């Protein structure tokens, strides 16, 4: 990769992971009202369950749109366990395992918010993750009508699903991950995650010393990467700094920048710091002609007296 992509890969090649899904009461990220998990051990499901959850008091209200999606109401969770108690029940099937979700970024944001609400510290990031939505899009595998949602993709493989029931969604996601691995002939879970987290953009070929036009190509490529929400970049140069370097090189053709410097935020900062003092750009030989001010000719005033 010409730009370092920050990946969060599982440590093991074995298909041992836990799929997870959340349903929320409203738009607040921590308003979890249901959680489902599906634990997989070496390619076989060993546990699948779901729990209704009483949301934290500050966000304990249900929006109409949310209820229309998952059908859970205030009365369903009024006497349910709070998430800190549910967490103790599901932790044995989560701890130390890579997590899998369909649109992992959304579920990760919800998980971060609800764990923070109860001051629970769990660094799931260190164990890696797999997003089945990313994986399907990367492999260009879709369901009916070119859709990549969980229901459409599960339908492609004949996986039964009750949409927006957290337990069913988690189990469907786990089965989908295994089905995608089989279709792609990838027999390593780590390799599957690596494939899904690698951008599918064609990398531009750049020389060791970059010109103004080369920086333009790099800037456009980087802009596409940054617009892809699922891609995380490590030590990535800012587009603003690349634009500044591009202007300098265009103005002073003798100034050059190495590819390694342009591809790194630290390298680009060092390049700016080490730039010699540059002469002021030469002024053009043509001088601007001053516009002469012509006084406005005023008509003499005439008095018109009438008796």
pLDDT tens string 265-306: 888 889 888 887 766 555 555 555 666 666 656 665 555 545
pLDDT tens string 180-218: 999 999 999 999 999 998 776 667 788 888 888 888 888
Residue 104's pLDDT is 95
**Distances 127 to 11, 44, 152, 208, 252 between C-alpha atoms, Å:** 7, 19, 28, 36, 48
b/e map 198-225, b = 16+ CB within 10 Å: ebeeeeeebeeebbbebbeebbebbeeb
* Contact between residue 15 and residue 42 where contact means Cβ atoms under 8 Å apart: yes
Residue 307's pLDDT is 45
Domain shared by 151 and 223, yes or no: no
Residue with tokens 């595998």, as numbered in its chain: 141
The answer on pLDDT for 81 being more than 90 is yes
* Overall pTM surpassing 0.75 (yes/no): no
Three-class secondary structure of residue 38 per DSSP: strand
pLDDT tens string 14-58: 999 999 999 999 999 999 999 999 999 999 999 999 999 999 999
Residue 301 inside a domain? The answer is: no
Domain shared by 112 and 237, yes or no: no
Residue 228's pLDDT is 63
Q: How many structural domains compose the chain? A: 2
Structure tokens that stand for 82 in this block: 């709070």
Domain shared by 129 and 77, yes or no: yes
Domain shared by 192 and 213, yes or no: no
Domain shared by 98 and 171, yes or no: yes
Per the structure, the complete domain to which residue 250 belongs is given by: 209-273
Domain shared by 164 and 39, yes or no: yes
Residue 302 inside a domain? The answer is: no
Residue 237 inside a domain? The answer is: yes
Structure tokens that stand for 110 in this block: 């919800």
């Amino acid at each position: 990769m010409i730009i370092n992509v920050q990946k969060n890969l599982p440590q093991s090649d074995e298909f041992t992971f836990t799929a997870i899904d959340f349903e929320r009461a409203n738009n607040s990220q921590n308003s979890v009202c249901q959680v489902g998990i599906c634990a997989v051990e070496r390619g076989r499901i060993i546990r699948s369950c779901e729990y209704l959850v009483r949301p934290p008091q500050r966000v304990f209200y249900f929006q109409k749109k949310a209820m229309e999606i998952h059908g859970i109401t205030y009365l369903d969770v009024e006497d349910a366990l709070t998430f800190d108690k549910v967490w103790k029940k599901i932790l044995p099937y989560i701890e130390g395992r890579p997590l899998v979700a369909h649109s992992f970024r959304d579920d990760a944001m919800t998980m971060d918010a609800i764990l923070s609400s109860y001051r629970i510290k769990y660094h799931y990031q260190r164990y890696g993750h797999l997003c089945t939505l990313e994986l399907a899009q990367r492999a260009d595998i879709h369901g009916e009508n070119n859709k990549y949602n969980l229901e459409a993709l599960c339908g492609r493989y004949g996986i039964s699903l009750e949409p927006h029931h957290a337990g069913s969604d988690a189990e469907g996601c786990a089965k989908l991950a295994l089905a995608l691995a089989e279709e792609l002939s990838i027999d390593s879970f780590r390799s599957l995650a690596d494939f899904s987290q690698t951008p599918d953009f064609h990398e531009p070929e750049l020389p060791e010393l970059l010109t103004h036009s080369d920086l333009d190509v790099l800037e456009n490529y980087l802009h596409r990467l940054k617009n892809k929400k699922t891609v995380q970049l490590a030590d990535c140069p800012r587009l603003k700094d690349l634009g500044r370097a591009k202007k300098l090189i265009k103005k002073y053709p003798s100034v050059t920048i190495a590819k390694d410097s342009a591809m790194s935020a630290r390298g680009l900062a060092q390049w700016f710091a080490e730039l010699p003092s540059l002469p002021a750009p030469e002024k053009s030989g043509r001088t601007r002609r001053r516009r002469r001010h012509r006084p406005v000719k005023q008509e003499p005033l005439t008095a018109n007296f009438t008796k």
